[in-house]
Structures are given as structure tokens and as C-alpha cells.
Copies of this chain bind each other. A is one copy, B any other.
Amino acid sequence: MIGRRLPSVGAGDRVTGRVQYADDLRFPGMLHAKILRSPHPHARIQGIRTERALALAGVHAVITGSDMPNRYGILPWTQDEYPLAVDKVRYVGDAVAAVAAVTERIAAEAARFIEVEWEVLPFVLEPEAALAPGAIRIHDDKEGNLTKHVHLEFGDVESELAASDIVVDGDYHFEGTTHAALEPHCAIGKWETDGTLTVISTTQVPHYLHRELSRVLEIPTDRVRVIQPPLGGAFGGKSEPFDLEFCAAKLSMITGRPVKILYTREEVFYAHRGRHPMRMSYRLGATKDGRLTGCDARVVADGGAYSSFGLVTTYYSGQLVTAPLALRAYRFDSKRVYTNKPACGPKRGHGSVQPRFAFEVTLDKLATSLNIDPIDLRRRNLLAVGDRTINGFLLRSNGFAECLDRVETTSGWREKHRRLPRGQGIGMAGSFYISGTNYPIYPNNMPQSAVQIKADRSGRVTVFSGASEIGQGVNTMLAMVAAEELGVELAAIRVVTGDTDLTPVDLGAYSSRVTMMAGNACRKAAQSVAERVRTAMARRWETSLQEVVLADGRATCAGRTDRDVSMAEAFALTEAELGSLGGIGHYHSPSDGHGSYRGATIGASPSYSFTAQVAQVRVDLETGMPTVEKIWIAHDCGKALNPTIVEGQIEGSAYMGFAEALFEAQLFHDSGLHKGPSLLDYKIPTALDCPDLAALIVEAGDSEGPYGAKEVGEGPLHPSIPAIANAIHDATGIRIDSLPFSAARILRLLRENAVSH
């Protein structure tokens, strides 16, 4: 089963339109709600009058900040949001009040009747201005507007740089981007007749939402249920609680009816939590033969109005560039700053996509300066299996060298690099990424994933997992793992995810943790059931447990053709022999002694994926218009449990990196207003805009991963952007240090370059 190219579980429903997304769900008596949002980037609420809205026919309830006075936030240390603004608003789009009515239209109409008395405050949109002495304060308790400041040094960076043969540097800017999942956020609150709360939501993290709903609404956790229907994309943009979930829940508690809130596309841009804009400065030293010495990084991230995952982002922006290449010394100083804009958060490749761009372009500069082929430069600085990175991450496996070989060969690198005609170029970059984090979002020592399995005489196996299917293939992975261990066919397995009542706790779909953690938990659960079946069959067949083989839907005895029953029969015999069949398995990542490294626990993972990419571009020298012709992506995922899905993840990641490189930018007017909160204005490439993508699977099996598997959903995004930047350099000689790589920017650089030469 493992390693086979099988269709995704649930794909049939997706492509035939049978899937019921959150907004497809309706319940008897259901109300619809709308959230009134701030027109000001920063203002104090002097008063709110809701009487006129409440008086409108069809309106059932109006709530404001005082109805939910508990602050929330995905990380327990930085809870700085209210479901609805209590004291003041901090960006254009901040939630102020919510109205539940019999139709969405009436709710929207009524929201306009809510009268808010504003005290408009000065605001700040840029992190540098927010950090400046005397800047206005966005959060009263946060002087200097700092969400988080991390300063860590491993080794002696200044000595290493001083002793280097060469030091290159650069300043970089990564523009903010957002997830642009096709499905807008949607939540349905249902206050049940038994005094429990059900929230159906487009969330990636039902468990965390469960906890926050309980805390904010002051309902015990054992009275809250979160259901996640199939999602129409997420990419990190649904990884934390949002105003709509609290509002739908509270309005249902007040009205006693189900209440649905569906964001408009405009609201999705306000909810945001997308990629942080970052300003980054890098200094990187090397010996003249290309051995890296010290690296000094400074990062300032524009966090927007609230913390979101920003604390983690601040660590990741420094921690996650310490592989795949060995460094002798490394220091980073990273600040995340509040501004009066929608909050930034985790987007696919969280935290290290921006610094990876800066680091890999810096490396390319180094290669140019040393006149060493960029691939060879990387080969001279490889880390080995069993090594720890400078910041202490243990590498249990490492397929980076093979990734380099694969992209070098398949792209025709040797024939192309520095040899293509002007206007055409090829570039490369490498990266690594985590397979889940060892560090849960709230401190605890409980399993990070658990899976419960039920099997019975019908031959049907049901897998209950709290992991979240967000299109990445979790359900398929769980089904394949259970099928592998239990020997049943895939269609005999039903996977149940996304319901906190039905499934054991799983921390959710973020940080590329699911295959590693839920996969291991599923394997253990399935193995415990399989062992009972083998025991029963061995007893019946008077043989040893080891001789019983469960595979291809049958239980057989090695070397005995007369001992061959269907798995349904084997389960039935086991039920008769040993009782009903069920089991639970869990996973907790190893600690690996990371605690001994300062701060390094944030970023540490059970295992790490590796990627190398080569991008080939063409630049129109008249207009600056760049065209990415092809990207070769070699990704070490440890073991491709399902190569088709792995390739899909590789392609999807590279596509998203390409999109950010060339197209995307979440921009604001000086007034604080979003420049274009719509998919008409916010450009994402269509299939026609997309380069040819060559996904190359590398399998450096990892001892901690299930069957050796590591992550694939985020890692392959990272090198896309610097590979394209480096290819543009190869094509044109310009060094592009800011995103996106628009024709206008390239043309300006081409002209500057022409002048300076």
C-alpha cells in the first residue's frame, strides 16, 4: 500500500461537486450574521448604539465587544484580540459588532444601522515608524509596538566573519502576501438543547479552536464541540480562531438558533494572517574555497495589528535557515512589530520563506564572487546524517546532496548556467523545513497526535483522527497507513477527521506535522489491532503470530495456500476468539535534548525535509517582463507514501512560491485602507500563467517518520523565490532584492544596472 499511486480519498466527491462545504450546510431555523467592521485604522470606541439595528424586521440579535470581554489569541502568551473590539479598533476591517438576522441581506442592512461614536486616533503603517521613539502605541501594554524580539547567537559570529576570506551582504525586502484560498472563512454556531456548543468552522486547528471557544465564551471544554467540514483551501490562513467563530457561537447562544457567518472575499483579506512583510539584512562569510563561516541576520517583520502566530514567526525567521548548509557561527536578531494593518501570521512555509529568499540570494552572490558554481558551493557545506545544525537541530536523515544531483542533472544545469543568451537564465536555491514542531502551541506533555481505530466482522476499518484534511491528503495518508498495517483494501477504510467529539486530540494541520505525527499514531493504532488479528489467526491456524500475513484484503499463512481468508473473515474470527476490535495509538515527538540550546526548542522538529530547486527564466529586456519557463524541484520527503500526492504537494508549493515571486502583494493606501481586497486586484497566477513544474521525489528515509516519511507540504515552496531571483541574475546580471519581481521593478534595475556599468 505504501508507495502506491492511489487517488485521494474523497477526490470523487470533490470533482463531482458532492462535497458539502461549510457554507453548504444549513439547519432548521438557521440565522445569518454579518460583522460590522471598522472604517478607521486606529480609533477609540466612545459608544455604540444598536437600537436601530435591533428594530429592523428580521433581526434577532446584535452583539458588541462587551458581550465577549475575554481576549483571545492562538498563543497563550500573546492573547491580544477581542472577538469584537472592546476599547478600540486597530486596523481598517477590525470587528466592532455583529448582527444575526433571518437572511444575510437583512443582517448586512442592519449592520449599517449600528451607530458607532469614534475617537479617531493617529496610526502607523510601517514597522520602522512603529519602532521609532515616540511612536503611538497600538496596544496600550506594548511599548515600542514590539510583539516579540528574539536575539540569539550560536558560536562567535564576529570572529568568524573577521577571519573570513570574503563577506557578502545584502538588504532584502519581502512583500506581504496572503493565502487566497478559494473558500472564504465560514462558521456556524449551534447552541444545543443539552447546553453544549457546536461550532462548525473552516478551521485547520479544531483542537485549538475548541480550547479558545471554551475560554473566551466561558463554557467548559467538555461542553464544546468543533466540527471541521471539508475545506476549500487553507494554506495556513485558517490556523487560528477568528472573530466569526466567536460571533456565530455567541449569537447562537443568545438566539437559541443556529447562526452562520460567511466572510465576503473582502473580509478574507482583512482576516488575513498571511505572510509577514520583512526587511532583512544578511552578512555571510566564507573561506576562499567556499566554506561558509559566519552568518549575521537581522529581520524586522511587519506584524499588523495583532500577534497571531507572530511569536513563532519571529523565532522561525532566524531558526530555520541553519540547514541544509553547515555554519560555524550564526546570529540572528528578529523583531516583529505591530502596525495598524490586518494581522500577519502563518502562510505555507511559515517564517522562513522570507529569510530563505535573502539567504539563498546572498549565497548566490557569494558563489559569483568566489566564482564557484552555486551547486558546488552548496556541496562544499553539507551537513551529514546525525549532525546537529549550529542551533542544535538533529538531522536524522538528509537527502539534500541527492536533491542537488537530481536538479543539476534533470535541468541540464551544467550546460545552461552562465551559458544561456542574455535575457535567459537559470538559477538555483536550496532549503530545509520542519516535519512538525516538537513544541506544542500551549505547553503540555500530552500526545501531539492520537488515532483510534475500529474494525469489525464486515471487514470495514474506521480511522478516527483529530488531524485536519485541508486538501493536503491527510485522509488518504491515514487510510493508506491503516490499510498497510491491517492488510485491507483502501475502499474498506473510512477515515473520520475534523470532529472533536468523534476523534482523539490532534493538534491540527500546521507546521507540516500531520504525516509525521498522525501518521505514526495511526500506524501504532493499526498495529495494535493487526496484532490481535494475527494472534487470533495464529491460534486458529496453530501457527506462530509471525507466520500470519495480512495483505491485499486477505489473511494468509506463509507457505500454506489452504490458509487464506478474507480480512472480513479474519476480523470475524478475531471477534469470536478475542472480542471486538479497537485500538488507540498516539505520537509524541522526541525531545532530542533541544532544551539545552537557548530558544532552539522553537523550530525543532522530529525530522527535516530538504529541497533543491532550479528555475529557468526568460526576461524581456525591453519591458522587464519576466517569464518563468520551468522549475525543477527535488524534494527529500523521506518516503513518498503516495507519490502522486507528494508530487502534487511539491508542485503546489513551487507554484505558490512562483506566485509570490512574480505576482502577489498585499498592499495598503496611506490611509490604512487595503489597496484591493478582491481576487480581481490581488493577482494570483492561473494555470495558464504557471511554469512547467518538474517534481522530483528524493527519499532519504527518516528513522522517526512513518515508513521513513517526512514533510512535503511546505518545504518545496522555499527555494522557488530565490531560485527565480538567482535565475534573473543569470539572465540579466541584476540582483533583485525585493518582491514581487515585477516587470517594472526589473526594468528599473536593468536601467540602473546599465547606467552603473
Q: Which residues of A contact B (CB under 8 A)?
A: 9-13, 16-18, 20, 24, 27-29, 192-196, 210-211, 214, 220-225, 444-447, 450, 452, 454, 456-462, 464, 488-489, 491-492, 494, 496, 500-505, 521, 567-568, 572, 575-576, 579-586
Contacts and interface: CB of A to CB of B under 8 A. Distances in A.
A222 B458 contact: yes
Top 5 A-B pairs, shortest CB-CB distance: A12-B193, A222-B459, A450-B580, A582-B584, A222-B492
Contacts of A503: 454
Contact of A491 (B11, B223, B575): B223
A398 to B, nearest CB: 30
Contact of A17 (B28, B224, B492): B28
B194 A572 contact: no
A193 B458 contact: no
Contact of A222 (B10, B193, B221, B488): B488
A626 B368 CA distance: 108
Question: Which of A224, A521, A575 neighbours the largest number of chain B CB atoms within 10 Å of its CB?
Answer: A575
A216 B568 CA distance: 17
Nearest to A493: B222
B572 A580 contact: no
A445 B576 contact: yes
A519 to B, nearest CB: 15
Contact of A457 (B13, B446, B580): B446
A491 B195 contact: yes
A568 B504 contact: no
B575 A447 contact: yes
Given A18-B193, A459-B220, A572-B444, A452 B450 contact: no
A514 B718 CA distance: 57
Question: Which of A16, A18, A20 neighbours the largest number of chain B CB atoms within 10 Å of its CB?
Answer: A18
A489 B11 CA distance: 40
A460 B221 contact: yes
Contacts of A575: 446-447, 505
Nearest to A584: B582
Contacts of A220: 459, 492, 568
Contacts of A586: 579-580
Contacts of A10: 194
Contacts of A585: 580
Given A18-B28, A28-B17, A501-B462, A491 B580 contact: no
B502 A462 contact: yes
A461 B586 CA distance: 17
A461 B196 CA distance: 13
24 contacts: A9-B194, A12-B192, A17-B28, A20-B28, A210-B458, A220-B459, A221-B460, A222-B491, A222-B568, A223-B491, A225-B494, A444-B457, A446-B572, A450-B582, A452-B452, A454-B504, A454-B584, A456-B505, A457-B505, A460-B501, A462-B501, A505-B580, A579-B584, A580-B584
Contacts of A457: 221, 444, 446, 505
B492 A582 contact: no
A16 B579 CA distance: 40
A491 B446 contact: no
B491 A501 contact: no
Question: Which of A11, A16, A584 neighbours the largest number of chain B CB atoms within 10 Å of its CB?
Answer: A584
A480 to B, nearest CB: 14
A491 B196 contact: yes
A12 to B, nearest CB: 2
A1 to B, nearest CB: 15
A193 B193 CA distance: 35
Contact of A581 (B211, B461, B584): B584
A580 B504 contact: yes
A346 B221 CA distance: 44
A579 B17 CA distance: 39
Given A445-B576, A450-B582, A496-B502, 14 more contacts: A10-B194, A12-B193, A18-B29, A18-B193, A214-B458, A220-B568, A224-B458, A444-B457, A452-B454, A452-B582, A462-B501, A580-B584, A580-B586, A582-B583
